[in-house]
Structure 1
C-alpha cells in the first residue's frame, strides 16, 4: 500500500469509507497510534479534512473501524493457514498459530492496535463482533483438539473452565511468540530462512499443545 495518495483523488459512491480506512492503516503504519491524526489520513486519501470526521466522527471512531477490519483480517490469516494444513485438529491448530504469527509479522502496527491499544472503542458493536469471532475461532479449534465428549454440545464452551485454561495457554504462547518476534527479541530466529523459522515455530506450538 502506498504511503500516501495523490490529492484530488475521486471515488465512486460508497468507496470513500474504505479508502479512508486504507489511508488510516498507512498513517498508523508510518506514524504509530500516538501521532495518528485525521488530518494526516485525509491528506493521504486526497480528500477534505472534514471527510474523515463526517464518516467516523473522530480519530477514535476511525481507529475503531480500522480495528474491526484488523480483527477480520487476523481471523482470515488463521483460516488461510488452516486451509493449507492437514485436516486433523492438531495440524489445523498449529496452522492457526502460524497464521496468527504471520499476521503479526505482516501488519505489526495493526497487530499492536487490535491487541495493545486503548484507542479503539471495544464497546462498538462491529468491533466487538469481529474480536469475538476471532476469539471464538480459537476456542473452537481448541475444543476440536481435545474433543473427548466432556463438553456437552449444548453447553457454552466459555463456561468450561478446563477448556478455557487450554485456550489461555495456547493463546498466550502464540501471542507471546508473535510479540517477541515483532520486537526483535527472538534474535536467534531473525536471520533464519523462512522455512526453518516456520519449522521451529511449529515445533514450539506442537510441544505446547501436546503437553
Structure 2
C-alpha cells in the first residue's frame, strides 16, 4: 500500500512527490465504486489511500474539486472509447452504431463513475480539466453523427454546424436515456417477460436495429 506518513507497522513504499494526487484519485474511484457517491468524502479517500486526512484537501482544495477531477477522468476514458469506436469503422452507419454501443457499454461497465459524471450538484463545471474532458468526449459523439471528420483542430477553427449540433443532441439524449435505464435497472422486467436473455441484450438489439439520429431539414431558424 502507498503512504506518505511514518508507519509503525510493516514498511510501505513511499510516494514520489508527484504521485500523491494520482493515488488520491485512484483511492477516490475505489471508494466510489465500493460505497457509492454517498460514501465518498475527503476522510474516506484519505483512509483508502492510507495518507494523512489533510492530504486530499491540500492537493485538491475541497471535495467538489477532487470529484470534478475524477469526473474528468471518466470523460477522458469515455472520449477515448468513443474515438476508438469510430477509428476502425468502415462507413457512416458503422460509426454511429459503434459509438452507440460504446456509450451504453461504458455506462454499464462503470455505473458509479458514469453517475458521478452527470451530478452537477457535487462536481464543478468551473473546473478547467473537467470542461476540456467533456468537450473532448463530445467530439467522439460528433464523429458518429457527422459525415465529415471532426478533429480537435477543426472543431476549434470551424466549430460545429447547427445541424450537427441538433444531431449530437438527439443522439446523446437517446443513448443517455438507454444507458440510464440500464444502470438504474429499469429494463429487467421488460426484458424477462419479452424473452430477452438480459436487459443489456434488449438494448444491444435496439442499437442494432434503431436509427439513433434524426434526419434534419435544410431550413434553419
**d(CA) in 1 for partners of 2:2, 2:22:** 16
- Residue matched to 2:118: 115
Q: Which of 102, 107, 113 pairs up with 1:104?
A: 107
C-alpha change, 1:93 and 1:56, in structure 2 (3 Å) is same
Q: How much does 1:196 deviate?
A: 4.5
SS of residue matched to 1:135: helix
Q: How much does 1:136 deviate?
A: 2.6
C-alpha change, 1:98 and 1:37, in structure 2 (3 Å) is same
**d(CA) in 1 for partners of 2:200, 2:127:** 39
SS of residue matched to 2:37: coil
Q: How much does 1:198 deviate?
A: 6.5
- Residue matched to 2:178: 177
- Residue matched to 2:15: 11
SS of residue matched to 1:34: helix
Counterparts of 1:23-172 in structure 2 under 5 Å? Answer: 23-83=27-87, 86-144=89-147, 155-157=158-160, 160-172=161-173
Structure 2 stretches lacking a partner, 5+ long: 151-156, 216-221
Higher mean C-alpha displacement, 34-43 vs 160-169:
160-169
The runs of at least 4 consecutive aligned structure 1 residues that moved more than 6 Å come to none
CA RMSD in angstroms comes to 2.8
* Number of positions where the alignment pairs a residue of Structure 1 with one of Structure 2: 197
Structure 1 stretches lacking a partner, 5+ long: 148-153
Scaled by the length of structure 2, what TM-score is found?
Answer: 0.77
Contact 1:93 1:141 in 2 (8 A): yes
Larger helix percent: 1
| Structure number with bigger Rg | 2
C-alpha change, 1:36 and 1:143, in structure 2 (3 Å) is same
Scaled by the length of structure 1, what TM-score is found?
Answer: 0.81
C-alpha change, 1:146 and 1:58, in structure 2 (3 Å) is closer
**d(CA) in 1 for partners of 2:84, 2:198:** 21
Q: How much does 1:99 deviate?
A: 1.0
**d(CA) in 2 for partners of 1:172, 1:40:** 34
Q: How much does 1:120 deviate?
A: 1.2
- Residue matched to 1:192: 197
